[in-house]
Amino acid sequence: MKIDLCKLPFSRYGSYGALSYDQHTQELAIRFVYHGFVKSKRKLFKIIPFKEGKPLTYRVHAEPWVLTMETNEGSIHFYWKGKGELVIWGNGPELRIEYLGAGEEGGFATQDSMMSWRIVDPTSTSFIRLFTLEGMLEGHTSFQLAMNPDGTAGKRHTCPEAYFHLSGPKEFLLHMGFGQMELDLEYPKADPVNDLEEAKHQFEGFRESFRQTMTSPAEYREAVETAVYVLWSSVVEPEGKIKRPAMLMSKNWMTNVWSWDHCFNALALARPNPNLAWDQMQVVFDHQLPNGQLPDYVNHAEALASFTKAPIHGWAYMLLVEKGFELSSDKALLVYEQLSRWTDWWFSYRDSDRDGICQYNHGFDGCWDNASVFDAGIPIESPDLTAYLLLQMAMLERLAHALNRTEVAKLWNTRYLLTMEKFIEHSWDEGNRQFFTLQTAKQIQVESGSLINWMPVVLGDRLPKRIWSSIVTALSDESQFLTQTGLATESRSSSSYSDGDSYWRGPTWAPVVYMVVDGLRRGGEQELARTIAHRFCQTVKESGAMYENYESSTGQGLSDPAYTWTASVFLLLLDEYLGD
């Protein structure tokens, strides 16, 4: 397969590095993905081919294991090794590597030997070492006193620029090592032929695991290849706060593992790679707080607990088990304890009026950051939250039975039944025949056309028939939510609906599509579920990438075009609803 470098980063399984091509500036740049999306979007090095002091025009193309820069003077190749190595080799042209963190950002470079240079980049907290294995490496840098605006001596020295020139009489071979601590001064190794064979073999094995366990129509083959590449290349090895192999949401700029996104990646991996699926569920629970809360997200540098995410984890484990994922007794006990504490946290810390119906204190907590249900102020009691908690209680009951804790299972069943009764009494508007959101502090019903009010569809046949029929009617209405892209996140008849990059006020999102489709299936609405799945998959295929979300009226891809939950949901829907 060929990678569209204008949309997808070039990386590989395990690596914390990525190469990106900017079609507007026509620049190839190296980035690191250790931190959150602001720092990871930052370009660290710019790559420019040269000959006799003049920059060359070039073309770039890539397969999953190698990126090639072609010029009229010859080619330069790039590939990743492990979690912190980039190898560059070429013949014909020379290469200039410009370090973009010099000057005001405080980065600096020093020469270790005739063959190597060391760079410290404070912004990404990275240590980098350039080592030439073949050819010549020349560094150009300076270190000088910074001056104040009035001409007096400043309080520090700076490195105003740093760039490196790589050349060879026939060819050159450069090793770039990088990491979050000082690198060993060992002589690095690089064997392009064998290294590339290993990377190719790894990707093809990953791809084959999907081919053997999931189905898809032939017309989607190219998009499936893209989806599999996005998943494979977005994994990083354990380091820092990442305690196990973790699939980032992207290696473009959404370089976190958010605490609901990871569930969809785990579901897609359930049959192709059960061990990696388990790791995706656990990578966030590795940072569960003593009081039971999950962090908002995890990356190499931090696990942020200022916010959290919706408790869809019971729902996710329920689906994993249905897909044949085996929970050993040890794993079942661990999951039970994690979900139990997570469920109790919501009722202990997110029910300020103590009415038994939990609340979101922020749009980030509810996952629908700017949804119209938050326009009236926070906190809010939206019906999706209780629906997720109900499914979590149902999963806890199932786990308790599996652990032979019959009395505990009965307690969860009782709690489920009481909460379901309270939920319908509290959040269902019989007159308007729909669920509604309550503004907690003011105790007023929020006027909103957000799809979030219809997310209790995830409960499927657990809902009373009169409620279920109203939900199905709304979701099948093309003047409201049903669109050619799947589902709009805001009713198209709502004054809050907006085309364009309006995030949760209209665009179609992969996780919402999958959760709604799954709920419809559980409620017996197979035809509507298949229609929505087909429309979404067509949208993804036609976009040529795996966008974070899509404009619901046109299908235009929005935000990050290499988003893993979109790739995962796309593969799941093809297999479950459109496969052979």
More confident residue, 66 or 107: 66
The confidence score (pLDDT) of residue 351 equals 96
Q: How far apart are CA 254 and CA 388, in angstroms?
A: 25
What pLDDT was estimated at residue 148? 84
Other residues' Cβ atoms within 10 Å of the Cβ of residue 205: 11
Q: Please check whether residues 185 and 327 belong to one and the same domain.
A: no
Residues 188 and 331 in one domain: no
181 and 321, same domain (yes or no):
no
Tokens (6 digits) for 422: 């309270």
Query: Of 113-122, 215-224, 236-245, 381-390, which range is least confident?
Result: 113-122
CA-to-CA distance for 54 and 50, rounded, in angstroms?
5
**Final residue before a domain boundary, out of 175, 199, 223:** 199
**pLDDT band, very low/low/confident/very high, at 38 (cuts 50, 70, 90):** low
Q: In which band, very low, low, confident or very high, does the pLDDT at 227 lie, cut at 50, 70 and 90?
A: very high
333 is a domain residue? yes
Helix, strand, or coil here: 319? helix
Q: Where does the pLDDT of residue 36 fall: very low under 50, low under 70, confident under 90, or very high at 90 and above?
A: confident
Q: Kindly state whether residue 38 falls inside one of the protein's structural domains.
A: yes
What angle is formed at CA 217 by the lines to CA 216 and CA 222, rounded to 5 degrees?
85
Separation of alpha carbons 313 and 372, rounded Å: 24
What are the pLDDT digits (tens) for 309-350? 999 999 999 999 999 999 999 999 999 999 999 999 999 999
Does some domain include residue 328? Answer: yes
What average pLDDT score do residues 227-253 get? 97
Domain count, the chain: 2
DSSP 3-state of 300: coil
Same domain, 387 and 536: yes
pLDDT of residue 453: 98
Q: What is the mean pLDDT of residues 384-407?
A: 98
pLDDT tens across 119-147, in order?
999 888 899 999 999 999 998 888 878 78
pLDDT at 580 > cutoff 70: no
Are the C-beta atoms of 227 and 233 separated by less than 8 Å?
A: no
Quote the domain boundaries for residue 64.
17-199
The answer to the question of residue 443 being in a domain is: yes
Averaged pLDDT of the chain:
94
Mind listing the pLDDT tens digit for each residue in 458-509?
A: 999 999 999 999 999 999 999 999 999 999 999 999 999 999 899 999 999 9
In a domain, 226, yes or no: no
| Residue 39, in any domain of the structure | yes
pLDDT value for 435 = 98
Instruction: Express the helix, strand and coil content of the chain in percent, nearest 5 each.
Output: 35, 25, 40
Domain end point (choices 176, 199, 222): 199
Task: Note whether 566 and 433 are same-domain residues.
Answer: yes
pLDDT band of 285, cuts 50, 70, 90: very high
Residue 303 lies in a domain: no
Q: Look at residue 147 in the predicted model and tell me its pLDDT.
A: 80
- 42 pLDDT exceeds 90? no
Residue 553 has φ and ψ, to the nearest 5°, of: -95, -30
CATH of the domain at 537: 1.50.10.10
**118 belongs to a structural domain:** yes
Which of the two residues, 252 and 161, has the higher pLDDT score? 252
Highest mean pLDDT among 34-48, 103-117, 149-163, 324-338: 324-338
Q: Tens digit of pLDDT for each residue in 14-35?
A: 999 999 998 888 899 999 999 8
Query: What CA–CA distances, in Å, run from 42 to 39, 99, 247, 252?
Result: 5, 12, 20, 10
Q: Do 195 and 330 fall within a single domain?
A: no
Q: What is the DSSP string of 466-529?
A: HHHHHHHHHHT-TTTTEETTEE-SB-TTSTT---SS-TTSS-EEHHHHHHHHHHHHHTT-HHHH
Q: Which residue, of 199, 216, 242, is where some domain finishes?
A: 199
Nearest residue to 64 via CA among 18, 116, 131: 18
Identify whether residues 316 and 194 lie together within a single domain.
Answer: no
What pLDDT, in 10s, does the model give residues 521-544?
A: 999 999 999 999 999 999 999 999
pLDDT of 445 reads 94
Which residue in this structure is represented by tokens 């139990």? 340
Instruction: Identify residue 231 by its one-letter amino acid code.
Output: L
Instruction: Write down the pLDDT at residue 374.
Output: 96
